[in-house]
Every structure is written in C-alpha cells, then in structure tokens.
Amino acid sequence: MGDGAVSEPVALAMADGIRARAPADVGVGVTGIAGPSGGTPEKPVGTVVIAATTTSERRVRTFRFFGERAQVKFQAGQSALDMVRRLLLGAR
C-alpha cells in the first residue's frame, strides 16, 4: 500500500508538476484533510502536507492544524505562503 493522497511524496509531485507545466520558478503543492470528515487515526482531520520546490531545492512538511474546515484551509494557505517566502530567502 502506498503513502496515499495526503503524503509528502504527493505534495512534492504536485509542486514539481505545476512548476514544470506553468512554467514557473516556484511550485507549491498542498494536500490534506480539512474536514469536517475524512480523517483517520493515522491522518486525522487537520493533517495537511505542503511542499514548495524550485529547480535547485525541494521542501516539504506535514502539519497538524486545528479548528473548523475554514480555519484549517486558512492555516494551510498561510503556511504555504510562508514556506515559499522562506524558500526564496534561503531560510529554514
């Protein structure tokens, strides 16, 4: 059995894919379970995986956000933008 749709390999593939197809200098992939249903004990509601890639660097991180669906989506968006910002600045 594979990692599933909510996984770091999938988020990286999404980011690389959009960067190649756009074409763009930076690609972002976000996948997750915003709720209110769909969670499992291994991947509960609020699990979000975000990846940001360039031609020279790939970053990915799994988050666990809390709150209702809109709050999870907001936190995911903010975290994705922060990841891109840090990637472009060369910060960790």
Residue-wise pLDDT for 30-83, tens only, equals: 999 999 999 999 999 999 999 999 999 999 999 999 999 999 999 999 999 999
Structural domain of residue 36, as residue ranges?
A: 8-89
Model confidence band, residue 92 (pLDDT cutoffs 50, 70, 90): low
Number of separate domains in the chain: 1
This model's pTM is above 0.85 = yes
The strand pairing partners of 53, in sequence order, are 27, 58
How many angstroms separate the CA atoms of 74 and 9, rounded? Answer: 23
- Domain assignment of residue 1, yes or no: no
**What distance separates the 2 farthest-apart alpha carbons in the chain?**
38
- Domain assignment of residue 3, yes or no: no
The reported pLDDT for the residue numbered 33 is: 97
> Domain holding 81: CATH number?
3.90.950.20
- Domain assignment of residue 62, yes or no: yes
The SS3 assignment for 6 reads coil
Cβ contacts of 22 within 8 Å, gap of 6 or more: none
